[in-house]
Structure 1
Amino acid sequence: MPENARLNDNLDEIDLEFVEREATPRFLMKLSIQLHLAGLSLSNTVSILELFGVNRARSTVHNWVQKADLQPESGQNPDHVAVDETVIRLNDEQYWLYAAVDPETNELLYTALEPTTNSVIAHAFFAELREKHDVEHAVFLIDGSHSLKDACRRHSLDFKYEKHGNRNSVERVFREIKRRTTSFSNCFSNAEADTADNWLRSFAFAWNQLI
């Protein structure tokens, strides 16, 4: 598929139903959302808009991303699921990002940002993951996390310990997320946890389109 056709397909996936009165052309709004989630800082995204003769504040683009409410497509049926948890810094506070990745496609299936990590939260994450995807017969790849093992057992899901191999997919995703959240301070500076959680799911949406 030509690159311009692929770009148009990706932009078509962004729903702008939230727009009521907005002077910015919808194509440029979608392009701005896509570019920011794909890797551009808010400042650089605003600079791209200026090339089209549109002047918008960084906060405006940030609000477009938030209101679009993007997230990975539901209804996937993976054979394997790599699940992990990692620390995310938010306003000098520590949060835990839970993520599930299909190692065969490297697609993010689901993410959740939590204030701590324990068996109850891990159980809830697996419950939400099962609501969104058909993972009953998938093999879950986990590391040494006791809470993740406990959650698999409570949900009667098949799992195995794997530190490398297919788990490299989720580690790759986490590396990119940490690069983004530490590099683009104008995205996570003074952000509420719900805002960051929504941004991370929007990132997952864009990640799946670009891989």
Structure 2
Amino acid sequence: MPEFNRLTLLSSDIQLEFVEREQTPRELMRLSIHLHLAGLSLSDTVQILERFGVDRARSTVHNWVQKAELQPEDGKSPDHVAVDETVIQLTDDRYWLFAAVDPATNEFLHVRLFPTRNTGLTGIFLDELSEKHDVDDAVFLVDSADWLKAALHRRGYEFRYERHGQRNSVERVFKEVKRRTYQFGNCFRNADPETVETWLQSLAYYWNRLI
């Protein structure tokens, strides 16, 4: 049972302040959230609960993940920050997942979902990042995106174009995001952007806990 114990330990810090009259034992709720973020479908997660004698709908587990509001931890002071964005498909609409990653640890620092990519939205993302972490002295590693370089320049951040090298960290974490979203056909059908963003932020939290 070492692997089960490890999963239980990893999920132990998931807070459940949203719980009021839920009859499911909290440890099973935490484990269900962790297993789903680890890669199990909602159906498979429900089947795990059934082994413990708990009968819950897939929508119930989905709601637990949403209400837990998991996020990457604040308060980091990275020397470098790799920033990039990638397309996430919501039914027929394209959205952009913005992510900042610490290349020294491969941890997500901040994650947001936007309907497009431009200098203004990039600036919002950077401002939120700076509220969460001490990045004033960090060197930002960027690709050739003009909107990203413009937003960084306006805020006085030091940045460096880097095609590979330390920027590979953000490519690695995006590869994991793509792997997980491909389980949905890389398309969140009939899901609103806020719900998808919460799920992606929860996935970032899980990634940081795992590495």
Question: TM-score, normalization: structure 2?
Answer: 0.94
Cα distance in 2 for partners of 1:6, 1:80 equals 31
Q: CA deviation at 1:185?
A: 5.8
Provide the C-alpha distance between the structure 1 equivalents of 2:185 and 2:64, rounded to a whole number of angstroms.
18
1:153 aligned to 2:153?
yes
Matched, 1:104 2:119: no
The letter for the 1-side match of 2:130 is R
| Counterparts of 1:187 and 1:203, CA distance in 2 | 16
Residues in 2 aligned to 1:57 and 1:186: alpha-carbon distance in whole angstroms = 23
Distance (whole Å) between structure 2 residues aligned to residue 76 and residue 204 of structure 1: 15
* Identity across matched positions, percent: 64
In the TM superposition, what are the counterparts of 1:57-96 in structure 2 within 5 Å? Answer: 57-96=57-96
For 1:201 and 1:174, the matched residues in 2 are separated by 13
Query: How many pairs does the alignment contain?
Result: 210
Look up the match of 2:54: 54
Cα separation, partners in 2 of 1:48 and 1:163, compared to 1, 3 Å: same
Equivalences for residues 153-192 of structure 1 within 5 A:
153-184=153-184, 188-192=188-192
- Equivalence map 1:1-20=2 (5 Å): 6-20=6-20
TM-score by length of structure 1 reads 0.94
CA RMSD of aligned residues (A): 1.7
Once the two structures are TM-superposed, the CA of residue 180 in structure 1 deviates from its matched residue by 1.2
Residue identity matched to 1:85:
E
Structure 2 distance, partners of 1:46, 1:187, is 22
Alpha-carbon distance change, 186 to 62 in structure 1, aligned in 2, over 3 angstroms: farther
Secondary structure of residue in 1 paired with 2:135: coil
- Runs of 5+ consecutive residues of structure 1 not aligned to the other structure: none
Cα contact 2:37–2:206 (8 A) shared by 1:
yes
Shift of 1:134: 0.3
| Distance in 2 separating the partners of 1:209 and 1:65 | 16
**SS in structure 1 of the partner of residue 59 of structure 2:** helix
Cα contact 1:42–1:61 (8 A) shared by 2: yes
In 1, Cα distance between the equivalents of 2:5 and 2:112?
32
Q: What residue ranges of structure 2 are gaps of 5+ in the alignment?
A: none
SS at match of 1:206: helix
Cα displacement (A) at 1:29: 0.3
SS in 2 for 1:188: coil
Shift of residue 98 of structure 1?
0.3
Q: 2-side partners of 1:148 and 1:5: how far apart?
A: 43
Q: Shift in Å at residue 10 of structure 1?
A: 2.4
CA shift for structure 1 position 8? 4.2
